[in-house]
Structures are given as structure tokens and as C-alpha cells.
Amino acid sequence: MRSQNVTIKQFPFMNSFKNSICMPHFVTHLESAIDGTQLEFETIQTLHEGRPLWVKYDLNAVKANMDKNTVAKREPTMWRYRELLPTGTDRIEVTLGEGMTPVLQCPTLGKQLGLKNLSVKDESQLPTGSFKSRGQAMAITMAKKLGIKRVAIPTAGNAGGAMAAYATRAGMESFVFMPEDTPIVNQYEAYFFGASTYLVNGLINDCGKLVRDGKEKMNWFDISTLKEPYRIEGKKTMGLELAEQFDWKLPDVILYPTGGGTGLIGMWKAFNELREMGWLDSENMPRMISVQSDGCCPISDAFEKGERFADPFQNAKTIASGLRVPVAVGDFMILDAVKESGGRAMAVSEDKITAWTKQACSAEGISLCPESAACVGALEQLRDEKWVGEDDNIVIFNTGGLQKYVEVMETELPRIDLSQPIDWTSI
């Protein structure tokens, strides 16, 4: 490892963190995504003009202090890219061991879809069973550094459990508000991981309003999707990891199930930062496909209308609970990323999500969540349209594990009655 003294000499953004002794990081400032206004980093920030913030780095300094060989030798966790993260080289992360997730080849599912190079990046193997762990590990780590002691979140499912787990890990008090028809496992995991957990007779945006309205009275910090700047940075590690696993040459097409959009936005930010640093060995940037269910598809509706901002989606309903986000504050960030990449935002049939889930899980033995099964449907359509070619290198992100969705999995299984002779011909 390089001596930190070198970093300290070269890098001006040192020691300015008010609550810490020394935090060598490469962040220059925060920047409003809507109008470019620059804001100070080492202080609590939320939205600007109601819209999210980017974390901006001195990428030249990162490049001078980080190299691929050093990264390759580090622990295989999301923290191995620390120079490109707001935590910098400081080591007080709040962690449950966020290991690198595997890229699994899918020859059987690929064959069914007429694709030779299909793989799944399996985020279900993270702590709390979904990629939400990456965002929450980072958001809670930064909240802790900033002295926050109480956090609250509205959730459609997995974010609540992840936030509860990391808040507990950090010694913070946490509050989770979710629609009363949130998958049962998500309801209980938040509670078991130590959050004060409430069921609300409304949608996620109603829960969001509760968190906003309670802010003064309850003195909590709002960890809602994109309302603080660091969840994106945590999710960015999906993109950094993918690039490293693909030997710094990115795949042709990435399919991503989209709710609030942090995953897709974060990944696109990662690719751009790597490109700017000259770390990518090919000019080829992937086409990003944002996938939603036609039961809740504000982003694909806006994409089809050629608009940069999405209208609220009425009567949002989908069994893929992570996609049930009728209003996204980062809508324009998702749509900008999709367009810049030459990709698309699509909606697939809600009625087929369970069938696609079964198809993919039984073809590959991967625990594919219904959100990611929607990506299988999208691929079917993209193949029919010949928008993707047989030889394209394609990656579906499996954002979570199927086991959490007992409502989707519920199936009548055949029974064996031991008091009767067994009919082997029927087995």
C-alpha cells in the first residue's frame, strides 16, 4: 500500500472533516443534479431544490493514488474501491461484510432466450439478501460520521430491512414505514433487525410524507432513496465491481429493474468515473436498460414520451415490490443515464412476472427475485425486436433473493399420503 503521507501531501481535502481527526478522501464537493449548484461535503446535506445531489471527486488525485493491482489485492468487499467512495481511506465503516457478488453464467436461460453470453450478477448474496445493503452500508456509515443518531425511512420492501440492520450495527435508533401490503418477510425483517416498524395504509410516497412530516417532532434524519447523497455511492460499487470482474471491459447490455433508480444511476456514475480515469480498456459503454412492470412504470412512460421528468403513476400495483415506486425524485437522472448510454426504459407485463421468475430460477438455480425476473421478460422482447444480438454480452442484475417473496412463491405442491400405497408412475 502507498504511504498515506503521499496522499496527504498531494491532496488538499484533508482534515477538514469537522467530527473526525483525519479523513483522507478525494471528494471535492457535492453538486446539485438539477442545476449544478455546489455544496459543501463534510456537513449534513439532503436535497437541493427538491432534487438529489452528486458526490464529486478529484478523479486525477484518485488516479494518482489508486491502481488496479492494489485494488486487486484488497479484501473482496465493496470497500476495496475506497478512494472512489466518500468514506475515503478512513476505516470506520459500518459493515456486515458486503462481499463482492459473483457474475454467474446462464447458458440454459440464455439458450431459451437465444443468447450466447447471458449472465446474472447475483446481488442476492449480500447481507440482508439484496443490493440495498450496499446503499445502506454507505449511507449509514456517512450518517454516523456526521453525528446522526436517529434515522427514518419509507420503504417498498428491502430498503427497510437493510436500513434497520445497518442502523443497529451503527448503534443508531431507526424507524421504518412501509405500505401494509409490503411482502411479509420485509415487514418482519425490519422489526427483527431492531427498527421501530410501522405498517401504513398507503403507498411508499405516503410513507415518505410521514417521514418528512415527522422530521421536526421526531428529530430523525431522512434516509429515503436519493434524499441523502451517499446511497448512490454505495450502489456505485455494483458498477465498479462489474468493471473489475469483466477485466475493465464492460458488457454490451445491462438490464436493471428500476424503482427509485439509485442502482442504475449509481452504476452509470461508476462507469463514467472509470472512463474519466482512463481505467476502461474499451470505449464500449454498455446500453443501460431500465426495466419496470406495466403495473408501475412511470420511467418507461416518460421515456416513451421523450420526457426528462416522469408523471406520478396512478394505482401502482406489482408483486415485484421493489418496482412499486410511483414517484421517483431522481427520475431525470435515470432517464439521462438510459439515454446517454443508448439504452431504453421498458415496461413488461405484470401478469407474467411469476412465470418469468419460475423460468429463470428453475433454469439456472439462481434465486432470482421477481424484480429481476421482469428483466427476463424485457430480454424476450428485445430478442424478438432484434434489438439485442445473439452474441451480445448481456448482464441482468439480480437485485435480491427470491426467498423473501413468499407471496410470489406460494404454490400448491402435490402431496404424498403415507397411508396409501405409493403410485410411482405419478412421481
SS3 string of 70-123?
HHHHCCCEHHHHHHHCCCCCCCCCCCCCCECCCEEECHHHHHHHCCCEEEEEEH
CA distance 316 to 327: 10
SS3 of 312, please? coil
CB of 68 to ligand PLP, least distance (A): 27
CB of 206 to ligand PLP, least distance (A): 17
CB of 1 to ligand PLP, least distance (A): 32
Measured over the CA atoms of residue 64, residue 65, residue 71 and residue 72, the dihedral's sign is positive
Q: Which is nearer to ligand PLP, 66 or 325 (CB)?
A: 325
Q: Which is nearer to ligand PLP, 134 or 145 (CB)?
A: 134
CA distance 282 to 330: 29
Query: 396 and 379 in contact (C-beta within 8 Å)?
Result: yes
Residues in contact with ligand PLP by CB under 6 A are 130, 132, 157-159, 225, 257-263, 322, 369, 371, 399-400
Mutual angle of helices 158-169 and 184-192, in 10-degree steps: 10
Q: Which is nearer to ligand PLP, 61 or 142 (CB)?
A: 142
Q: Which is nearer to ligand PLP, 65 or 124 (CB)?
A: 124
CB of 322 to ligand PLP, least distance (A): 3
CB of 203 to ligand PLP, least distance (A): 14
* Start-end of H helices in 103-229: 107-113, 132-145, 158-169, 184-192, 204-213, 215-218
CB of 394 to ligand PLP, least distance (A): 18
Q: Which is nearer to ligand PLP, 25 or 121 (CB)?
A: 121
Locus of grid cell 457474475: 103
Q: Which is nearer to ligand PLP, 110 or 260 (CB)?
A: 260
What are the two backbone dihedrals, phi and then psi, of residue 336, each rounded to the nearest 5 degrees? -60, -45
**131 half-sphere exposure, CB direction, 13 A CA radius:** 34
